Structure 1
Amino acid sequence: MTIEQIFQDKSIKAKGKVKTLGEWLLNGELPIDELLAYAEKQKASDKATCIEAVEFATKKTPKIADEYLLDYVTNSLKDEEPRLKWESAKVIGNIAKLFPEKLEKAITNLLPNAENKGTVVRWATAYALAEILKLKTENNVNLLSKVETLCDKEEDNGVKKKYLDALKKVKK
């Protein structure tokens, strides 16, 4: 079965597509760059499903990520589609520890999403920013005060908790 066939098969639900593609990524049957090249030519919902498959795989095995993936999801944070924003943010949260010195652009693209009207976008953004903060890199010089401000302004408890947990770990 090919990527195209998975997306054309209406009997496979979205979560099934994510799981199948994610498992292909994990077992090496599908290179990430091939999936991202496919995603680039798709409508927003299918592109988001591809990124969700990458999120599924990087959650289990972050080391499958490379700089191309980091750049791809960093750029996807600026997309209009909320699901692309949140899936990309979750991938960044999963892989940040592999690229501690290459996260400036990701941070720049994440920060506007931290004030998005969508709770899921804000939660995923908080997850990514929290994971970056926990790395205790030079990024924290500017990021720490921004996260504290975001945390103070955040009204959703789930999003706020992501920030608070990271702030506790960083201030130890």
Structure 2
Amino acid sequence: MTIQQIIDDKSIKRLEKRTAIVQGILDGRFDFSAVSEACSFLPEKKISLLLEAIEEVSRSKEVVLEERYRKLSESYLLSSDPSCKREASRIVGNLAAAYPEDLDDAITALLQNADSDGTVIRWASAYALSRIVLLPHYAKGPLFEQISNLYEKEKENGVRNQYGKALKKAEKLR
């Protein structure tokens, strides 16, 4: 089955679809070209499922996805679909340490999402920004102060905790 066939199959539940895509990525049936092609014609509502699968793989300590997955995810950081924003943020955060170069566009989008009305979007942005600021280059740069400001104004404890833990760790790198 192709990615589109899995996603469009109404007899398969969402979690099973995500699991099938994850397995396809892990065993090589779905390489980056297949993932990218699926993103080129699927609507964003369905792309969010594909991004969920990529996020699950990107969280794995056993597999490091290639940088193109991070770049693809960055293109969904400012999506109109909140699920795409959430998953894209988490992928960027998961892959930031493996590919720390050229994160400026992602940081700009994540900072924009950090002001979202939606707590889930703010949390996902905090998740990614908190991983990026732990990279020495960013810990010593303006991102540290930007995150400090976000931490101070954030009301939601879950989001604040993401920032707070990262700031303590990043402080040691400064």
Q: TM-score, normalised by structure 1?
A: 0.93
> What per-residue deviation string (whole Å, max 9, x for no partner) do you get for residues 35-91 of structure 1?
122022111111111111100111114754223222211121121111111100000
Q: 1:115 is matched by which residue type in structure 2?
A: D
> What per-residue deviation string (whole Å, max 9, x for no partner) do you get for residues 63-120 of structure 1?
5422322221112112111111110000001100111122111111111000111111
Runs of 4+ in 1 over 6 A off after TM superposition: none
1:9 lines up with 2:9 in the alignment? yes
Identity %: 34
1:152 lines up with 2:152 in the alignment? yes
Q: Counterparts of 1:73-84 in structure 2 under 5 Å?
A: 73-84=73-84
Deviation at 1:31, TM superposition (A): 0.5
2: CA distance, partners of 1:13 / 1:88: 22
> 3-state DSSP class of the match of 1:65?
coil
Q: Which runs of 5+ in 1 are unaligned?
A: none
Does the C-alpha gap of structure 1 residues 4 and 74 become closer, same or farther in structure 2, counting only changes over 3 Å?
closer
Q: 1:104 is matched by which residue type in structure 2?
A: D
> 3-state DSSP class of the match of 2:97?
helix
Deviation at 1:22, TM superposition (A): 1.1
Mapped contact 2:139–2:170 kept (Cα < 8 A): no
Does the C-alpha gap of structure 1 residues 84 and 147 become closer, same or farther in structure 2, counting only changes over 3 Å?
same
Q: Counterparts of 1:95-114 in structure 2 under 5 Å?
A: 95-114=95-114
Mapped contact 2:3–2:34 kept (Cα < 8 A): no
Deviation at 1:138, TM superposition (A): 4.3
Could you say which structure has the higher helix fraction? 1
2: CA distance, partners of 1:132 / 1:168: 14
| Larger displacement relative to structure 2 (62-71 or 100-109) | 62-71
Q: TM-score, normalised by structure 2?
A: 0.92
Count the aligned residue pairs. 172
Mapped contact 2:32–2:69 kept (Cα < 8 A): yes
Does the C-alpha gap of structure 1 residues 62 and 37 become closer, same or farther in structure 2, counting only changes over 3 Å?
farther
Mapped contact 2:126–2:159 kept (Cα < 8 A): yes
Mapped contact 1:104–1:139 kept (Cα < 8 A): no
Q: 2:129 is matched by which residue type in structure 1?
A: L
Mapped contact 1:93–1:127 kept (Cα < 8 A): yes
Q: Counterparts of 1:122-133 in structure 2 under 5 Å?
A: 122-133=122-133
